[in-house]
Amino acid sequence: MAFNPSPKSKGGRVSLSEINVTPMVDVMLVLLIVFMVSAPLLQQGIDVKLPKADAGNLEHDEHPVMITVKSDRSVDLDGRSVTIEDLGTRLIALSQQKNDPQVLVQADQSVSYGTVAKVMAKVKKANIRRVGLVTAPEEGASRPASP
């Protein structure tokens, strides 16, 4: 607190109150840096080379369940790593929680047909009827116009 002599006051001194904004600016800059570093990590996806096919777009839920089979044959369920054996029990629990869930399967094009067939069998055993395979569009293929 600073005192400034003034001829108008009784004691000759007046208190000045000022807010020191330097600590607040420091905190805001640190938060800005933290958000700038963490934002790209939240957007990061799974690197899968999808097979190309000339198929139209499917109508799908706003938040479908995504099963990803990577090139090393590891399986992710909505971004969380699971084993193929554990996938069946998780899908059964999911089908009991949600009414008629939609599942989208995206598999790397280098993954064998047998691995994708095992995943599809787990989906079928969980009694999930709305299943789609995710593909990349072919080059030069004509796409129907979106409504």
pLDDT band, very low/low/confident/very high, at 64 (cuts 50, 70, 90): confident
How does pLDDT run across 2-18, given as a tens digit for each residue? 555 555 555 667 777 88
Across 42-46, 91-95, 138-142, the highest mean pLDDT is recorded for: 91-95
pLDDT band, very low/low/confident/very high, at 88 (cuts 50, 70, 90): confident
Tell me what pLDDT residue 26 has. Answer: 94
Alpha-carbon distance of 3 to 5, in angstroms, equals 7
For residue 57, pLDDT over 70 is answered with no
Alpha-carbon distance of 141 to 74, in angstroms, equals 31
Mean residue pLDDT of the chain comes to 78
Tokens at residue 52, please? Answer: 């190309």
Tell me what pLDDT residue 47 has. Answer: 65
Phi and psi, residue 115, nearest 5°: -65, -45
Task: Kindly state the percentage of the chain with pLDDT values over 70.
Answer: 70
Residue spans per domain, the chain: 2-43
Alpha-carbon distance of 137 to 141, in angstroms, equals 7
| Per-state percent for the chain, helix, strand, coil, to nearest 5 | 35, 20, 45
Tell me what pLDDT residue 73 has. Answer: 87
DSSP state of 78: T
How does pLDDT run across 116-141, given as a tens digit for each residue? 888 988 888 888 888 888 877 766 55
Tell me what pLDDT residue 18 has. Answer: 82
For residue 28, pLDDT over 90 is answered with yes
